[in-house]
Amino acid sequence: MLARILMAAALVAASGAAAAQKPAADPAHDKISMCIGCHGVPGYKTAYPVVYHVPKIGGQSATYIANALKAYRSGQRGHPSMRGVAASLSDADIAVLAAYYGGGK
């Protein structure tokens, strides 16, 4: 019985140490990965608000990507899904996304 208690305590301690060593989430990676679901699928089409081809963004000009995201965020561009995504982005997020996808990803 004592051996089981000691083993359980050791497992709890080990799992706590592993959790403490887990790297912090990378917010930039989260922002980058949210684009892949639509823009990273060759030939992808979506059905909202109408069926249309989703453009590939990897390799676009970083300036174009940043300007497009800012236009969605401000409402100058009207696609509902992209407006929702862009509304959640800060200027720093937009800079990271533009640099990443403008680099050909």
Secondary structure of residue 52 in the 3-state scheme: strand
Model pLDDT, residue 24: 53
User: Which CATH class, in words, describes the domain spanning 25-102?
Assistant: mainly alpha
Q: Which two tokens stand for residue 4?
A: 């089981």
Which element (helix H / strand E) includes 46?
Answer: strand 45-46
User: Which residue ranges make up each domain of the chain?
Assistant: 25-102
pTM to 2 decimals?
Answer: 0.69
What beta strand segments (E) does 6-86 contain? 45-46, 52-53
Residue 19's pLDDT band, with cuts at 50, 70 and 90, is very low
Answer yes or no: are the C-beta atoms of 97 and 65 closer than 8 Å. Answer: yes
